[in-house]
Amino acid sequence: MRAASFPVSPVNGSLCLTDFSLLASRFKRVFFALVPTATDTRFLLIPADLPSTEKQQEQPWLTVARHAAQTGLPKKESPDSLYFPMCGAEREVLVAEVSGVDPLVLEKATDEWLADTGQALSDELKKIKGEFLDPITGLYGCNLFFEAVTEAIDRQDLHLVLIEALPPSRSIRDRFSPVLNTGSLLKNYNRRSFPLFHLGMAVFAILVSDQQRINLSSFCLSLITALKGHGCRRVRCGCTSVSLQRGDGRLLHDHPRLLLDEAWQALQVACRRGPFAFCDYDTLINPEHAPLRPISRSLIAKVRRRCRQLDVFSLVLFTFDFQKKVGADVLLDAGCETRHMLPFADGYLVIVGDARTDEVRAWAVGMIERICSNKGADYSLSAGISAYPEHGSRIAEIINNTRKALLHAAFFGPRSVVVFDAVSLNVSGDVFFAEGDWNAAVREYRRGLDRAPADINLLNSLGVTYALMNRTGDAVRSFTRVIDLEPDNFMALYNQGLGRQAVGQYRQAAASFSRAREVYNPEDTDQAGAIDDLLYQLGICFFHLGNYVSCMDMLTAWHARQGAVKSAGACCRYLGISAYHRQHFPDASRWLQLALAHDKFDAESLSLLGDSYRILGEGDDIALRLTEKAVEIAGPEPVFLLRWGRALAACGKYDQAIEQFRRCAAVRKTRIDAWLEIGTVYGLQGRYRQARRYIKKLITGRDVPDEIRSRAQTLCQHHESLR
């Protein structure tokens, strides 16, 4: 018996744009060594095409560089430059400009010499890159990570995101596949070509630059959602940032390990939050920067002491809309009269006793108008109001509710006054959601629903959060409640479909997606951002329901709209398998090849591609290698054994084929197909008596499909004619 293959193959060392940033100095030394007399090398990103008007205005050297990019051939340009196309992206090609070349060398450089030099350069650069690649994923390894951090640390707003996505495994073989799959998914997700590393033990790192901190949580959330949507069973992110404002860039430049330690600490917190979560290190070390940071005990004690004699009171928190101004506290104090005023955070907390909230709101509005009238527009304030008693709330929560009301007020612009309500809890839940603290977000949304059980936004927000926490049943119930209240709510229908799909209810999920498609409004930005994924998920539902025609119609159109960005991946896999089951084998081969370019360890794609080659007569030896590789990866899966056996038979290895078919015959779902294959192979060997025993089972059996029975009868007649 042949030994099973080790589940890792040599990595692909093809060049990409990021290589010429991280390894630029090493690459330049290669150019100086292989191009005689060269004095300088630049790496240029050349657009693949330009409007004719712009082409007419570009400089001559750029025209030559573009010609090299378009033809893929090195070019020379007087007086001293050579242009070598190195690698391409979606709409750009990287061209190496080698200047300072001696004019005599340039004059004697033939097209053949240029082509040979270009190939030699490419080979040497790939060797250099290979020294820094992780052998499992083909991503940059840990040995290049610290160097990349040190070089990038002086840039403003550099972010490090660590990703952990390794589910529990039952065997050594099962540990490799998730790592390889996660690496492939991250490469596909990383459209902006940020440096991507595998640090080991299924921990990946992305160095994100040119991205504002405010967008970092959105980046992590988008990444988690994308990987979860592609079947990852858990994804956690920990992130940290360094900027010129932070003030410790020099320290991090000398000790880049500190940046990794920060992201690692944040990742540990994310791991405790659930299977899909993220955490920003800044929120751990600077909790005072959080909009809903804990309230000091001293302030709670002061408020409790001043309200001891009051059965009913309200708290009003005034804060400046722009910048804190001197003298406002004096005006507020004068306007408060008998009311108590306490400094709180960046504002002032006023205790108003024995008044209804509408009266308190009117007083706060009047106070802001008087201050702005007295001091000018620069003294613009807003206010948040909360009332006591509040069911089940303590003094600390009443104080915190004023901040939630202020966050709510920010949506209305300067000089706004808001009384704490269910919408305020929706806003505070969104704050926790953006920080990756989904348990706290759920708490806020549920408190909001206690106040407003039919609030559509709260129900949708709660459902989305439950989905990210893997509480799929709770998520579906939330979305179903929204649809009961508002049957044409696109986002609820879409999210309900995702939840049903996650638990394998593909028919119900397809119904939800189809209904959402019917009510889609292209003018709604939220709906426009979700429609592409909805159509993709609907295609997947059709696939699982066996409706391969609708699946291919949906996913082919979806794939065409994505352009080159998603030219490979899960979509190609679904299309390839669907084409195979429709017996469109040329299409199946094309799509499955693209799928394997994305994940070369996809056993089903390997098996089906091999069987397609066998059926099309495009190489029985290739079909045998592919189907055998699928069995090595997936183990003795009966369907894979059946295809392997067919490839063995096509190569004339009849005894080995029969051995595999007998293994399939021991399993109910492949028994009938295996009997037919055994009868066929025995016939090819001229062993008609053994063949007849299996063919008779197919002709007289009860549960044999008509198509198989007919083939068995034809085979029996053929054998009789040969005897």
Q: How confident is the model at residue 569 (pLDDT cuts 50, 70, 90)?
A: confident
Distance CA 602, CA 573 (A): 9
Here the tokens at position 717 are 């007649």
Outline where DSSP puts E strands in 165-287.
196-200, 203-208, 235-242, 276-280
For 694-712, what is each residue's pLDDT tens digit? 989 898 888 888 888 998 8
Q: Please state the pTM of the whole predicted model.
A: 0.79
- Summarised one tens digit per residue, pLDDT across range 435-447 is 888 999 999 999 9
Beta bridge partners of 628: none
Residue 654: CB partners within 8 Å, gap ≥ 6?
Answer: 648, 681, 684, 685
pLDDT at 329: 64
User: What band does 325 get if pLDDT is binned at 50, 70 and 90?
Assistant: low
Fold exhibited by the domain 602-723: 1.25.40
- Report residue 567's pLDDT band, with 50, 70 and 90 as the boundaries: very low
Model confidence at 3: pLDDT above 70? no
Share of the chain above pLDDT 90, in %: 46
Q: What is the pLDDT of residues 380-432, one digit of tens each?
A: 889 999 998 876 678 889 999 999 999 999 999 888 999 999 999 999 999 99
| Residue 245 DSSP one-character state | G
The more confident residue out of 564 and 590 is 590
What are the φ and ψ backbone dihedral angles of 51, each rounded to 5 degrees? -60, 150
Q: What's the whole-number mean pLDDT along residues 24-44?
A: 92
Residue 536's pLDDT is what? 92
Do 142-288 and 291-416 agree at the fold level?
A: yes
3-state secondary structure of 687: coil
Contact 713, 699 (CB under 8 A): yes
**Which pairs with CB-CB distance under 8 Å and at least 24 residues apart come from 411-417?**
414/321, 414/322, 414/380, 414/382, 415/321, 415/368, 415/369, 415/372, 415/380, 415/381, 415/382, 416/382, 416/383, 417/361, 417/364, 417/365, 417/368, 417/382, 417/383, 417/384, 417/385
| 40-49 tens-digit pLDDT | 999 988 876 5
Residue 522: CB atoms within 10 A of its CB come to 8
**What local confidence, expressed as pLDDT, does residue 538 receive?**
95
| pLDDT above 50 (res 53) | no
Q: What secondary structure letter does DSSP report for 47?
A: E
> How do residues 215-240 score in pLDDT, each as one tens digit?
788 889 889 988 887 778 889 999 99
Largest CA distance in the chain: 115
Averaged pLDDT, 176-198: 83
- The answer on pLDDT for 56 being more than 50 is no
* Over residues 559-576, mean pLDDT: 74
172 or 611, which is more confident?
611
Examine the pLDDT at 375 and tell me if it is beyond 70: yes
The confidence band for 26, taking pLDDT boundaries of 50, 70 and 90, is: very high
291-416 architecture in CATH?
Answer: 2-Layer Sandwich (3.30)
Give the residue from 116, 126, 91, 92 showing the smallest Cα distance to 14: 126
What was the pLDDT predicted at 1? 45
Contact 343, 317 (CB under 8 A): no
Cβ pair 608, 588 in contact under 8 A: yes
What are the sequence ranges of the domains in the chain?
A: 19-130, 142-288, 291-416, 602-723
The listed CATH number (3.40.47.10, 3.30.1360.70, 3.30.70.270, 3.40.50.2300) that belongs to domain 142-288: 3.30.70.270
Q: Shortest CA distance to 412 belongs to which of 444, 384, 372, 441?
A: 384
- Can you tell me the mean pLDDT for 164-186? 73
Which tokens sit at 295? 């309230």
pLDDT tens digits, one per residue of 89-98: 656 788 999 9
Question: Burial level of 696, CB count in 10 A (0-12/13-18/19+)?
Answer: middle
For residue 566, name the pLDDT band (cuts at 50, 70, 90): very low
Give the model confidence (pLDDT) of 129-163 as tens digits: 989 998 888 899 988 998 888 887 766 568 899 99
pLDDT at 310: 84
Mean pLDDT for the chain overall: 86
pLDDT tens column, 68-88: 777 888 988 878 899 999 886
pLDDT at 563: 60
- Strand 75-77 to 347-353 pairing: unpaired
What are the pLDDT digits (tens) for 111-131?
Answer: 899 999 999 999 999 999 989
Q: 284 is written with which tokens?
A: 């751990």
Q: How confident is the model at residue 193 (pLDDT cuts 50, 70, 90)?
A: confident
Q: How far is CA 136 from CA 181, 199, 348, 459, in A?
A: 11, 11, 58, 43
